[in-house]
Amino acid sequence: MGFLKSALWIALACTAALCLGAIATSRGESINSIWLVLAAVCAYLVAYRFYGAFIAARVMALNETRATPAERLENGHDYLPTNKWIVFGHHFAAIAGPGPLVGPVLAAQFGYLPGTLWIIAGAVLGGAVQDFVILFASMRRDGKSLGQMAREEIGKVGGFVALITVLMIMVILLAVVALVVVNALAGSPWGTFTIAATMPVAIFMGIYLRYLRPGKVLECSAIGFALVLAAVFGGQWVAGSSSLAPVFTLSAMAVAIAIIIYGFLASALPVWLLLAPRDYLSTFVKLGVIGMLAVGILVVRPQLEMPALTRFIDGTGPVFAGKVFPFCFITIACGAVSGFHSLISSGTTPKMIAREPHALPVGYGSMLLESFVAVMAMIASCALQPGVYFAVNAPAGIVGKTAAAATATISGWGFPVTADQMQTLAHNVGETTLFNRTGGAPSLALGMAHIFTGGSGGAVLGFWYHFAIMFEALFILTIIDAGTRVGRFMLQDLLGHVAKPLGRTSWMPGVIGTSAAVVAAWGYFLIQGVRDPLGGINSLWPLFGIANQLLAAIALSVATTILLKMHGAKFMWITCAPLAWLVTVTFSASWQKIWSPLPRIGFLAQADALKTGPAAFNARLDAVVCGTFMALVAVILIDSLRLWFGILWGARDRSVVEAPFVPTRLSAEEI
């Protein structure tokens, strides 16, 4: 490396250290968000250039001359050598979901510091490493899935447990993201109309794409985008109409039931009619809005009004209960480490990589970008006045049901806010109230609207708020639709072993029965969340976070096994260190969620406090679900540990089951 290059990297490393130091030591006055942006970007660049490159060169020995499965097994469908930046975009679009947006918003109750540090460090040392190693392992094994690799590398038990874990996580994931939408739309005619209008828009797009202009996806998506923008404007008109506003003003329970019915119908409808066109649209909107938010933050450079640390690090937070350790790490979830990414990294992506070294920008780089999205969500939520943030995110069961009670409670915590201030803000965004809108989506939308209007608020604040709600709801509904469908396939796959007709995806009674079972499963948890006086998020988001991080633990166990077989103990620390951290965090959080004597944290204590009735049953059910997650992952960990010690002591076979080396025939011009 030349002197100038070395100097540049040293300067970047120093800038990262300086900015991290500044945000870590700043107390008592607000700081500018640009410190967070610089800290994150410089840390990512240094990590990518040195840590990512080290893993690529020394650990994986990525080989430019080795043909990838995309080349060897090219079939024009799944396996296809593709330009690395196109694969990067494809992979990033696939991994970017609501998790990195909602998680940091909820974790902002601890202040911006703990969440931001974990988002950056977790992604660099854990999340990106997991995505990268699993992508590499799958690429060297002809694009095999995580479940297949778990079965082959660890054993049959691991593969089966991975399948069951994914199915259970899907149920909790669908319930919690549906709850986020419910809390954003309840009592909001503007939002409800806008989201309801996206259904006929998607169906129109489906028909347009299939029969009117077949194959014109970009054209169709542009029309769809214009129509959903019109729906956002139309929503304002509906909210102001004395006859239509009551029709679209729904209670939380009514919105939940509508989403459950929608989930069932959408998963049984032909894919081309609703799911596929909305998936195209939501992906393009998602990428566009993330880009807009990045530009908005750089242009506006908002001040962070939230302190670095709040009093709620002691576990008494109103958004969700639990101390900063371990709950901050569970709550951030996908912004730092996401087990779900390992399913994408061992799904479509390894079948598209043209050259092995492309796995570095695709696997490691995409996760760093996802982490930056989480930093932006943290900035958007911390740019709000803390009093406003807590008024929006705290449930009525904690702060009180009236505006006066809520503002008095929140001001008493040292975060001044008035009922008039909240009323004016609600009026400006076209809502009747912004109190107790738990779930993260409304406060994120407020933060984004604040940034998009340049911090000035004004008449367009309402448009941007509902635009952000539309953006979040659009891709959450796509996840619900696709997730219910996938859950149904997995259930049919399992039940097919018991009764063969149930396994056939063409047998309608089986399709309807398994769709109903999956919808009933996540619908049950959704209704439970809606009825919960603490807002539902307090119970369901930690469950989701624990489940997601435990899936990451499974992926890291597979990754560690592979590295152990490749190099012995030499490079195990690369995946073992994040694995040890995740196991510590998730098992601590799970233990507390089940056994803590505080009813706001411990499910069993909550059940004891409630004694009998549906709420007590639900709390016990949540404890059972949490315990089951722990048990499933413990099985995989014990299985893995047995194998690792066996390999280290020479008692077990450590041969690596990679596809044989074949030299590439692709020229640089072809990719």
Binding site for other proteins (CB under 8 A): 76-78, 80, 82-83, 85-86, 89-90, 93-99, 166, 170, 173, 177, 210-211, 214-215, 217-218, 221, 271-272, 275-276, 280, 283-284, 333-334, 338, 340-341, 343-344, 347-348, 478-479, 482-483, 485-486, 489, 544, 548
**Beta carbon nearer to other proteins, 283 or 407:** 283
Consecutive H or E run containing 304 = strand 303-304
| Minimum separation from the CB atom of position 386 to other proteins (A) | 27
| Minimum separation from the CB atom of position 47 to other proteins (A) | 22
Q: Tokens 């900063």 sit at which residue?
A: 324
**Beta carbon nearer to other proteins, 200 or 214:** 214
Q: Measuring CA to CA, how many Å separate 659 from each of 66, 140, 196, 310, 467?
A: 11, 6, 49, 52, 48
| Minimum separation from the CB atom of position 279 to other proteins (A) | 8
CA dihedral 626, 629, 634, 635 (to 10 degrees): 140
**Beta carbon nearer to other proteins, 13 or 199:** 199
CA dihedral 536, 540, 542, 547 (to 10 degrees): 180
**Beta carbon nearer to other proteins, 135 or 275:** 275
Residues constituting the chain: 671
**Beta carbon nearer to other proteins, 276 or 643:** 276
Q: Tell me which amino acid residue 347 is.
A: G
User: What does the alpha-carbon distance between residue 184 and residue 194 come to, in Å, rounded to a whole number?
Assistant: 12
Read off the tokens for 588. Answer: 């601590």
**Beta carbon nearer to other proteins, 214 or 454:** 214
**Beta carbon nearer to other proteins, 269 or 309:** 269
Angle (CA) 378 380 382, round 5°: 65
The helix, strand and coil proportions of the chain, stated in percent and rounded to the nearest 5, come to 75, 0, 25
| Minimum separation from the CB atom of position 348 to other proteins (A) | 7
**Beta carbon nearer to other proteins, 14 or 298:** 298
**Beta carbon nearer to other proteins, 49 or 210:** 210
Read off the tokens for 492. Answer: 């049919």
**Beta carbon nearer to other proteins, 3 or 211:** 211
Q: What are phi and psi of 571, to 5 degrees?
A: -110, 15
Count, in order, helices (H) and strands (E) of the chain.
Answer: 29, 2
User: What does the alpha-carbon distance between residue 601 and residue 517 come to, in Å, rounded to a whole number?
Assistant: 29
Consecutive H or E run containing 475 = helix 461-495
| Minimum separation from the CB atom of position 62 to other proteins (A) | 23
| Minimum separation from the CB atom of position 59 to other proteins (A) | 25
User: What does the alpha-carbon distance between residue 188 and residue 426 come to, in Å, rounded to a whole number?
Assistant: 11
Complete DSSP assignment for 15-64: HHHHHHHHHHH--SS-EETHHHHHHHHHHHHHIIIIIIHHIIIIIS---T
CA dihedral over 574, 345, 360, 107, signed as positive or negative: negative
Residue 660 gets which letter from DSSP?
P
**Beta carbon nearer to other proteins, 77 or 665:** 77
**Beta carbon nearer to other proteins, 212 or 569:** 212
Strand, helix or coil for residue 303? strand
| Minimum separation from the CB atom of position 90 to other proteins (A) | 6
Read off the tokens for 601. Answer: 């944290």
User: What does the alpha-carbon distance between residue 555 and residue 133 come to, in Å, rounded to a whole number?
Assistant: 9
